[in-house]
Chain A
Amino acid sequence: MKLSINFVKEYLDLDQDVKQIAEDMTKAGNEYDEAGPLLPASKLTIGKVIDCKMHPDSDHLHVCKVDIGTEVLNIVCGAPNVRTGLKVIVALDGAVLPEKTIKRGIIRGQESNGMLCSMSELGLEHKFIEGPDKTGIHELPEDAPIGGDPLAYMKLKDDVIDFDLTANRGDLLSILGMAYELGAIYDKQVKPMNVSYQENDEDLSKTFQVKVGTENCKIFLAKKVKNVQIKESPDYIKARLIASGIRPINNVVDISNYVMLETGQPLHFYDADTLPNGMIEARMAKPGETVKTLDGIERTLTDEDIVISDGKRAIGLAGVMGGYDTEITENTKNILIEAAIFDPIKIRKTAKALLRSEASNRFEKGLDPNRTYLAIERSCHLLQELAGAEVVGKMAIYDKTEKADKAIDITFENINRILGMEIPKVAVLDVFRKLGFTCEINKKKVTFQEKEEDLATVEKITVLVPRRRVDISIKEDLIEEVGRIYGVDNIVGKLPSVPIKPGSYNKTMRQIRNKMVDLGLNETLSYILVNDKEAKMGTKDDTELVRLLDPMTEERNTLRHSIIPSLYKIYEYNQARNNYDISIFEIGKSFYKKDEEYGEENMLTCLMTGRYYLGIGQNQEVNFYVIKGIAEEILDYLGFAERYRLKVDPENMPEAFHPGQSAFISVNNDIVGVIGRLHPSICKEAVYVMEINLDHLLAKKVSKMKYKEISKYPTIKKDLAIVVDRDMISQDIEMQIKKSGGSSLEKIEVFDQYMGKGIEEGKKSLAYSLTFGKDDRTLTDEEVNASLEKIILDLGKKFKAELRK
């Protein structure tokens, strides 16, 4: 909302400068974006061109003599419309304009002591530029006083504050509302609005009907004026519209906008002669019904939109924009003024779907029905004054609104308890007085002359809040007003007095993060929104994608189903920047839709490529076993040692994985994750990823960490080298060794894998170091050898394993 200071001064005496007003409003909760002069141009004067010749050395410049009252200036001007006798705006030597500073100088050999200006050079917004200003300089009317201030003459010497208002303060979308707010801040009285006019003897309610066919319209008023003269608006109206950001059109259209700005109540003016049926009706649109709006666009409606109909067809989009066929033209004689209040939510929906307007913005935030009447009366006043209108007597009225003030009970204790400070009772009453609210104590009006001691026994008051304050309906709203106007700077902060107890947080997630960092990985934080084609990368299941209804870009139209695509993007980003050593992880959410239900799960995902070990002779590239080590470290750390296995299942592996270098991670035979190299078709470089579903994993019970007695008896180590088929996996062999070795087999370590010379083609040799021991005695060699023999026998039976010779 752009507030013209000149405009609000019509209703409130203000002597503060614009910056001060803006700051004081901010403190009261009304932030602004900009505050300053409407046209930031200085050292301007009105001049008259008394001589104008072509510049001798130019085909478009003119050399002018300009009378500015005190002297005659020589000025070179390039505007095509400059001519002798024209009244012009002169920027004098030293003038500061929005885009340049004017300096005396010589232009192609001719002295120039200033500049003749167009409105755009003074900083007028492009949308307001019309007429000669588009290509040349501004042409002032003949009566402009030479040597006078041109901005003052055009009524454009004004300051403007562009407020960034909160959504609850619909009342501030009006000059009156702003006047009440500033009145409360500066303790000043709002001046009454002039709504006087003469009516003729006719009775509109007898000749014209307003009908309402929907719950979504609570008040619908019509008033008629006749014989208007359409012409230009006076300068002050035009200037205030411009300062408010609205383009002046003609006196009648301008009045409808001007009154909307003053009262906050949007109005619609119809050419009364285009309404053949003596009625207008507010009703819900029929699905597919169309209406051609003022801007000439044919709009198709749904049964959620409210329309105005002339009894036969839709002639306006209620609350948003009027219709094309019934609009005011320069030939209009008679006007039907319509003012109404529509359901804010319905208007918001329509406006969001079709177009937002000054009107819809106000309807969305709620309106005061008292202003609906006021706006009509103010229009009649101005139409009579500025367009010579004959006002038809009476109104056509449909009205189901409450107009009396809203009574809210509140205690002083309520206020002090919430604000946490002791505010004198007179100070509380004074806030309500400044806001223009009536107060009652035991049904008796407060005079605001009461002293603190008079109020000693008073606990409760009733505050009568005018309907203009749509944002106030409960006592907490009043407490906010007290805080706003009285100020909360004096509140002394304290900590809540609550019982002492330990705070808690999800320690496990943090411990996992710490562990991963300790393992040398960099934590990332990536976007969960990805492209639908990559959302399921690294996964293979029957869930559906979770797509956005209205994505910003196709690149981010879907919620990821795995963090793998996010980390892969990070890999690509870094690769493109020559960062080749990447070991990253992220703990985050993955999302899914299954059986019409949405869900999300916590994932731990890790991606590694390039070097992980540092130092001379150590700089081997990451391979599968490195990332496997990371996975094992985490699982062991979380207490799952001995409970996890890799499940080699190339058939069911997600396509993103290299079939020969990947596996599922299972804990107690339940799959909790996946690990492997990315498929060479995705990525030529050796990139390894691992993803563990933390929600699945952490749902599993883990035994308590407990000290186990260290055996006092020596252990015996035996090495075992066997030859098996190359496809055999060591994990299965280890399982068998464990089973066959019995309880005295304490530890199995694989210490070598060999293929090549000395080993038959298609076979491989695996070497294990086995540690035997007992907690309660020393094992004998015979016992150990017996175990070993059983192991060898079983491996032979099960895997056709042979001892390596």
Chain B
Amino acid sequence: MKEQIESMKQKAMEQIAKSENAQALNDVRVQYLGKKGELTAVLRGMGALSAEERPIIGSLVNVVKEELETRIKEKEAQFAKEELERRLKEEKIDVTLPSSKIRRGSKHPLNRIIEEVEDLFVSMGYDVAEGPELETDEYCFERLNLPKGHPARDMQDTFYITTEYLLRTQTSAVQARVMMANEEKNPIRVIVPGKTYRRDDDATHSHQFNQVEGLVVDKNISLADLKGTLEVFVRKMLGEDLDLRFRPSYFPFTEPSYEVDVTCFKCKGKGCNLCKQTGWIEVLGSGIVHPNVLKMNGYDPEKYSGFAFGTGLDRLAMFKYGITDIRLLYQNDVRFLEQFDRKDEENEIKY
């Protein structure tokens, strides 16, 4: 009997070892350990054994049963491991292939500059105002102390639509609209960024360009306020270490009027080809709001004063991003546009 069990075990072990997959292994289990299995049959036939033999054979069968079960489990684990490995190997991919995504969008450099200017002035309590691009002669010129036939109109060659309607030549056109709309005569602090148009097209001028206008009206506004404000503006946009120079000039809507030069940011004032060896670059037009402008737009010049300034944003964008030809801004070559697809570096204050 013992020998019979031993040889059964031997045979089973061999079969387990030979099994090549989980199915074959299971067949072995059923053959020996199943309800009708060979080993199970031995246990069932124990009743025919003598009382002395029964415990010996019983324990032998149990030992063999355990051995077989352990061996089968081991073999199962081995199969599971092999199966996992196979699967992992099969699922291997080339992680260096391109990612799936949509194209990355970008914001036009001019609008980036406009947003930067807006954010700066909004942080100082200014409102951003807007006005029509298809303007009237009245708002673009007359209300700014530029009556019809005024020689200063030559400074701005205008696209007329009729004798009364035109494409605005300057964002200053919105000055009058802002003042007229402010019936309570609250202090005014606005900037007006936007498109402007002049009959001028060459390598450095575009017939369509962008300006930002600033207007502050209150009691006791002086040139010192203008200077301080422009210092903040210019230094934030172009560099903290730059100086400003106010050069007297003439604009019909301001008196006194100044053109503002800034230290050449390329050579830091030493003189270079950008600043034509002068060390200065003209960046802004500005001045104290002309009393006629205040009067025409509902403000008493004896009580109120104000300052206004304006600058071209195209040039600012070109300076900032190193764009050398103004036409690039309007050609919209996607290879140009796509380059403005990330955040600007910020000079953030660290606490």
Contact = CB atoms under 8 A, between A and B. Distances in A.
B350 interface: no
Interface stretch (A193-201, A417-425, A427-435, A437-445): A417-425
A525 B105 contact: no
Nearest to B220: A417
Contacts of B333: 573-574, 577, 579
B45 interface: no
Nearest to B105: A517
Given A418-B305, A483-B223, A618-B100, A506 B130 contact: yes
Interface string A574-597: 100101011110000101000000
Contact of A584 (B221, B252, B337): B337
A365 B250 CA distance: 14
Contacts of A500: 125
Contact of A528 (B105, B195, B227): B195
Contact of B330 (A514, A517, A527, A559): A527
Contact of B247 (A29, A476, A523, A574): A29
- Of A167, A497, A577, which is in contact with the most chain B CB atoms at under 10 Å from its CB? A167
Nearest to B335: A579
A420 B106 CA distance: 44
Interface in A405-425: 417-421
Interface stretch (B22-30, B55-63, B65-73, B107-115): B107-115
Given A525-B330, A589-B133, A503 B123 contact: yes
B144 interface: no
A364 B101 CA distance: 64
Interface in B187-242: 187, 189, 195, 197, 199, 201, 207-208, 216, 218, 220-232
Interface string A488-511: 110111111111111111100010
B24 to A, nearest CB: 40
B122 interface: yes
Contacts of B288: 418, 476, 479
- Of B152, B159, B222, B332, which is in contact with the most chain A CB atoms at under 10 Å from its CB? B332
A498 B218 contact: yes
B98 interface: yes
A217 to B, nearest CB: 16
Nearest to B189: A498
Contacts of B79: none
A496 B257 contact: no
Given A503-B121, A570-B332, A598-B161, A166 B250 contact: yes
A524 B122 contact: no
A355 to B, nearest CB: 15
Given A503-B189, A574-B333, 13 more contacts: A345-B150, A364-B151, A493-B224, A504-B122, A505-B127, A506-B130, A528-B208, A548-B160, A550-B160, A573-B332, A579-B333, A579-B334, A616-B97
Interface of A: 26-29, 31, 166-169, 344-346, 348-349, 364-365, 417-421, 471, 474, 476-477, 479-480, 483-484, 488-489, 491-506, 510, 513-514, 516-529, 546-552, 556, 559, 570, 573-574, 577, 579, 581-584, 589, 591, 598-600, 611-618
14 contacts: A166-B249, A345-B148, A476-B255, A476-B291, A480-B256, A483-B248, A494-B225, A500-B125, A523-B107, A523-B108, A546-B161, A548-B167, A589-B195, A598-B165
Q: Which 8 A-B pairs have the closest CB atoms?
A: A420-B224, A29-B248, A420-B222, A345-B149, A493-B228, A166-B250, A615-B100, A480-B256
Interface of B: 97-108, 110-111, 115, 118, 121-128, 130, 132-134, 148-152, 154-155, 159-162, 165, 167, 187, 189, 195, 197, 199, 201, 207-208, 216, 218, 220-232, 244-250, 252, 255-258, 288, 290-291, 305, 329-335, 337-338
